[in-house]
Homo-oligomer: A and B are copies of this chain.
Amino acid sequence: MPGMSRGRVEAFSDGVIAVAITLLVLDLHISPEGKGSLAHQIGSSWPTYASYLVTFFVIGVIWVNHHALFGLVARVDRLLLFYNLLLLLSVTTLPFTTSVLADYLRVGGGDGRLAVVLYGAVNELMALAFALILSHMIKADLLHEPVPRAQGRAAVRRFGLGLFVYPLVTIVGFISPPVMLVLYALTTVYYIHEQTPILGQPNPSGDSVNSPD
């Protein structure tokens, strides 16, 4: 696409992710007009704080992955921009589903389960968008260096793991929401370690590589 540079796609995505991660705090509010003492209010709304922390790191890790993926890209095309908008849609929607999750975990029942499904669905959209981005990058030859077929397919498969993980985590949430939040936190830890989207892919930007030994 004439004039489309990777830099501005990264800058815009950084902006959206930074705003979304910071807006999460708007869901935390306590006031002297509320019911009971400050300590009581904090204690009774633990799902709000737990969801805040988990979603903060979920979005933080989305940024880390976005950063790593686009670091491999030499040029962008319009389909990549569309898949990136899908990813950003999941990011901007997370503060809403987080708020609904926190509110309805306290309610429980059918509404609690629906809130768990909504939260999982937006995470699933995120995993789907990431898989589409990586797979399109490889197929449309947008990378700095072409990737051997088998290796590319392996990368997409490994990266697309989330597509199966989030539905499972959602089912766990039907039984125990706290366990589900712990699992989301663990998924986050997994992705922080999953540092190389395409194994063996050399680093084109040079100034930021770990030494390979």
Cα A197 to Cα B204 with chains together (Å): 31
A18 and B21 in contact, given A30-B100, A75-B208, A204-B3 (Cβ under 8 angstroms): no
Closest B residue by C-beta to A23: B22
Nearest CB on B from A132, distance (A): 15
Q: Is A24 touching B114 in the complex (CB atoms < 8 A)? A: no
Total contacting residues, chain A, CB less than 8 A = 81
Interface residues of A (CB under 8 A from B): 1-6, 8-12, 14-26, 28-32, 37-39, 53, 56-57, 60, 63-64, 67-72, 74-78, 81-82, 85, 88-89, 92-93, 95-96, 99-100, 103-104, 106-107, 110-111, 114-115, 192-193, 195-196, 201-205, 207-210
**6 residue pairs from A and B, CB less than 8 Å apart:** A1-B195, A2-B203, A3-B71, A16-B21, A32-B104, A56-B92
